[in-house]
Structure 1
Amino acid sequence: MMSFSASIIALPGKLAISAFLSILLISSCSDPATVGLELAPGNNQIGVFYKDFNLNAQVVLLDSFNTVNSGLLIVGNEEDEFFGKTESIGYSRMFFDGAAEKPLASAILDSMFFNMEVVSVNGSNLDRPKRYTVHRLTEPLLDTLYYNFDALSFEENPFASINFTFNEEKDTILRLPIIKEFQEEFFGKLKVGRASEFENLFTFRQYFPGFAIKSRTGDNTTIGVDLGGNTGIAVFYHYEGDTVSKRFNVNTFSSRSFNGIKSNRTGTPTGVVTESGKSYDVGSIVGMKSTLAMAIRVDTSPIDAFLDTLSGVIFNQVVLSIGEIESQDVNNNPITGMVMVYVNRENKPLTSSINGAPLYVQTDGQPQVIFDQNGNKVPNNIFLSAAILSYDPATKKFQTRITSHVNAIFRGQLQRQDWLLYGNTPQTERDDFKRSLRQFKVNQNKINVQVIYSKSR
């Protein structure tokens, strides 16, 4: 590990510190015990010091997590030299309004489409067509929990499909033509008095358990399909003599759904990752991938090693920096933000003694410890005030300040813990780590802590 220092211009007070910060980037290497110059020798001034050190990391495949009703169907097929081949299939039931007008026996079918409201697109070569297919389930989607590695069986041949080129379009409704055989069958059962399948949701779901949406191998793109009134089957029909078509919707409003992942990491650095919850050393490069549930564990023991060399200091600023990340396609956006979860050796979150909730590194300026019902100091675990590692596209780095956190460890208020980086932030309404296949990779030597601290002379 290297330490860095900068000479300080002999200016009083805040001007000296400001001058120090302005030349920090051109600082030279030095031993941390000797860095810093007195601002005014012989007076009770402050010496400002700088330390830079790395943290080691491993990858962890998290335990399977619940993806039911995450709000989006994640549909993607990606291949990467580090993560291998990853496919995400979205599964959902369907819904219709029982009070809506249904076509009579004399109705004439005009057209039928399967609409998909695409609200996010992430991937490569978006100037080339991407293919999506919709398949009828052959088993019901039950009122139970489904996890990211679960799957349901469906018909091999799709009833709707499309080739679509996104280019710069990331928010659109795709209109997939439905094959003629399915149209005739579906419309025939929908007509009043023809069959019982549309009497209510229960009889309908016995007939049509739901659907699965797939993407094409090799497309290297993932979309997020919003569930609700704009995703589902649109039926257009008329009666003899009509000039305007009527419409009947069977959509995904209030419909149970989940996302299932298939992963083949054979021959990649993460091919050794076989057991969930276990830390794996995969070499100099580590990475995270959403919904696959591959995360990064950070060994924070170098923080203890550094703090053990200090006494009587004040921390002016401590920054955790991850990156630059490894290069990826301009349209293959990385995870946008992460929190740091305290974990034990088995990568299980450490929890609060007050409410059993996971413990997170708290952001600067927030209490790092609080009092429990017995008056004992315990770690603060409020998710809304968790420190956020935010991604900056300009620098290709994740960064956050952890000054208050390190100060609490130094003062003995907190016990240092290792962290699990998790791809979610308090600002998002839902867990982003379950709503995409976003990823990033980084060299371990770019997981870095930069410390500026002062010591009275």
Structure 2
Amino acid sequence: MTSALKQNQKHKLTKSCSIFTRIWPVNLAFGAIASLFLISSCSDPATVGIELAPGNNQIGVFFEEFVLPAEVVLLDSFNTTNQTIMIVGEEEDDFFGKTSGTGYSRLSFDPDVALPEPDALLDSIFFNLNVRTISGTDLDEPKYYSIHRLEEQILDTLYYNFDELSYDQTPLASGEVVFGEKADTLLKLQVTPEFAQELFTNLKEGLYFKDIFQFRDYFPGIVIKAREGDNTSIGVGLGTNTGFTTYFHSEGDTVSKAYTISASAKLSGSQNVAAARSFSGIKSDRSGTPTSQITETKKAYDVGPLVGMKAGLGMTIRLDTSPFDAFLDTLSGITFNQVVLEMGAVEPQDSTQKVPSSIIAYFTNLSNDILTTSTGIKLSVQSDGFPQVYTDENGDEVPSTTAPAVFGYDPDARIYSQLITSHINALFRDKLTRKDWLLYVDSPTTAGDDFARSLRQFAVDKNKIKVKVIYSKSR
């Protein structure tokens, strides 16, 4: 920007003076496209914004930036039952502390597959783990996983992230793996000789394989554990690819056969296979960290300069949106060109330690509940360009729920961002009542609860959660 242009630039004061140093493409109402490098200063307290297009006698284009105050909330316990992916891992860092994820699952067998004959000979037995996701540090070093036998039944009830069941501490199968650059893989863990012989003998005798109830009396299910200190978590997919595979052959026959007992469920005569009943249990030790003071669920905490989210644990960020009121109350006769919420850059972490891929901003209240419609649909910021409200059967304008805005992540800039122009416009024109936001790891296109399917995390300086506004005002 030249000295002459700087002298002619008309600066406006915001409630707190801010500096804007990004290059913003601005689509002006008259069709021109400006790309300007902006620096704000403090001058006239009676006006708002930095004028972007001085000298134009038709339209003034202004920029404003402000921070949304943020706190950390530990969500109430949430359901991890039958999420199709179990969380298994041991993670530790200076902000969230130690977090442990343990997978619990029933096993089943296909009643239409023949059991080994009494004279069959055992070749080998392995436990296969269908690893769908991998997140952690030092993935070029070995990570250890073990399979344990449940000592009590998984009941037909709901299990939550705080739940756990008793199991035999001695593994039935275990092994190490070097993930390297893999995004997913199928692990094959060696079964102990003692359990291999026990299982194969029972398969040949068939006593516990007459029906699923007798089988569960014999074998209630499995527990999948990771090794403390590995600082890695995986998402274990359920179904036929996770479970015991027994290889055997008949005497005089060189062709090996296989019999599978897997984390799936299939009724006799049916072609449909479903995932077995399962859940993930999460333990957290936050002692000595900024988040150690978080002891109550659904209470907002100021934990210092950083705030953070960690899925599985249920720790998330609450955003105070009252600065919207303070800003919008100063405006009249304007048009919003672009409004964006940016969060980040987030704190650096290993490139193989995954952050949540998508976040939705749900409306919340003073009790940190996610607000819903009368039919239980969650209320959230809606995608830009989509209706933020609609007229219901009673003729009332109510918040829309059909197109939740997803805050995407830019891995190069380490920034979450989302256009919220339509949302701010609805607030400005009194179509919506302003609500605070509770950020949630979620996606409108996937089934299940994404918050219950991983230990993905990030932390961010709370002064880097900013709303950036470009608006036009006719002279």
TM-score (norm 1): 0.94
Please tell me whether residue 431 in structure 1 is matched to residue 449 in structure 2.
yes
Q: CA deviation at 1:279?
A: 0.7
Q: Residues 39 and 14 (structure 1 numbering): CA distance in 2 closer, same or farther, change over 3 Å?
A: farther
Query: 1:148 maps to what in 2?
Result: 161
Alignment of 1:39-438 (within 5 A): 40=55, 43=57, 45-191=58-204, 194=205, 196-254=207-265, 255-353=276-374, 355-382=375-402, 385-438=403-456
- How many Å separate the matches in 1 of 2:55 and 2:313? 56
Q: In structure 2, do the counterparts of structure 1 residues 332 and 198 end up closer, same or farther at CA, with 3 Å as the change threshold?
A: same
- Equivalent residue letter for 1:29: S
Runs of 5+ in structure 2 lacking a partner? 1-15, 266-275
Matched with 1:35 is 50
Which amino acid in 2 is paired with 1:391? Y
CA distance in 2, matches of 1:395, 1:81: 23
Letter in 1 for 2:256: S
Change (3 A) 1:206 1:343: same
- Within the candidate set 423, 440, 452, 2:458 is matched to 440
| Deviation at residue 381 of structure 1 after TM alignment | 2.0
Q: How far 1:350 moved relative to its partner?
A: 1.8
Shift of residue 89 of structure 1?
0.3
Whether contact under 8 Å (1:4, 1:30) holds in the other structure is: no
SS in 2 for 1:253: strand
Q: Where in structure 1 are there 5+ consecutive unaligned residues? A: none
Q: Give the Cα–Cα distance (whole angstroms) in 1 for the partners of residues 84 and 53 of structure 2.
A: 57
**Distance between the aligned counterparts of 1:290 and 1:120, measured in 2?**
14
Letter in 1 for 2:464: K
TM-score normalized with structure 2 length: 0.90
Structure 1 position 2, deviation (Å): 2.7
CA distance in 2, matches of 1:175, 1:273: 39
Provide the C-alpha distance between the structure 2 equivalents of 1:404 and 1:378, rounded to a whole number of angstroms: 15
8 Å Cα contact 1:4/1:51 also seen in 2: no
Equivalent position amino acid for 1:135 in 2 = H
User: 2 CA distance for matches of 1:420 and 1:12?
Assistant: 33
CA distance in 2, matches of 1:14, 1:280: 46
Q: Could you say if the C-alpha distance between residues 256 and 39 of structure 1 is closer, same or farther in structure 2, counting changes exceeding 3 Å?
A: same
- In the TM superposition, what is the alpha-carbon distance from 1:14 to its structure 2 partner? 4.2
Secondary structure of residue in 2 paired with 1:29: coil
Given residue 337 of structure 1, which amino acid in structure 2 is its aligned partner? S
SS of residue paired to 1:240:
coil
Q: In the aligned structure 2, how far is the partner of 1:439 from the partner of 1:349?
A: 20
My pick for the range that moved more, 420-429 or 160-169, is 420-429
Distance in 2, matches of 1:324 and 1:4, equals 16
Amino acid at match of 2:40: S
5 and 133 in structure 1: CA distance in 2 versus 1, 3 angstrom threshold = closer
C-alpha distance in structure 1 between counterparts of 2:97 and 2:214, whole Å: 41
| Aligned equivalents of 2:20, 2:313: Cα separation in 1 | 42
Amino acid at match of 2:152: E
Distance of aligned partners of 1:406 and 1:107 in 2 relative to their CA distance in 1, 3 Å threshold: same
Asked if structure 2 preserves the Cα contact closer than 8 Å seen for 1:61 and 1:293, the reply is yes
Conservation of the 8 A alpha-carbon contact between 1:122 and 1:223 = yes
SS of residue matched to 2:81: coil
1:432: how far off? Answer: 1.8
Distance 1:104 1:34 in 2: 82
- Residues 5 and 35, structure 1, Cα contact 8 Å, conserved in 2: no
1:26 is aligned to 2:47: no
Over residues 410-453 of structure 1, what are the superposed CA-to-partner deviations in whole Å (9 max), with x where a residue is unaligned?
Answer: 11111111000001121333322111100000000000000000
For residues 203-240 of structure 1, give each alpha carbon's deviation from its aligned partner in whole angstroms, at most 9, with x where no partner exists: 00010000000000000001111111111000011111
**Aligned sequence identity (%):** 52
- Closer, same or farther: CA 273–189 of 1 in aligned 2, 3 Å: same
Please report the RMSD computed on the Cα atoms of aligned residues, expressed in angstroms: 1.9
The offset of 1:170, in angstroms, is 2.4
Q: How many angstroms apart in 2 are the aligned matches of 1:129 and 1:157? A: 20
**Separation of aligned partners in 2, 1:328 and 1:46:** 45
Count of equivalent residues: 444
What amino acid does structure 2 have at the position aligned with 1:365? G
- Once the two structures are overlaid, the 10-residue window that deviates more, 426-435 or 409-418, is 426-435
Runs of 4+ off more than 2 Å: 1-8, 11-16, 25-35, 37-41, 427-431
Write out per-residue CA displacement over residues 78-97 of structure 1, whole angstroms, 9 at most, x where no aligned residue: 00111110000001000101
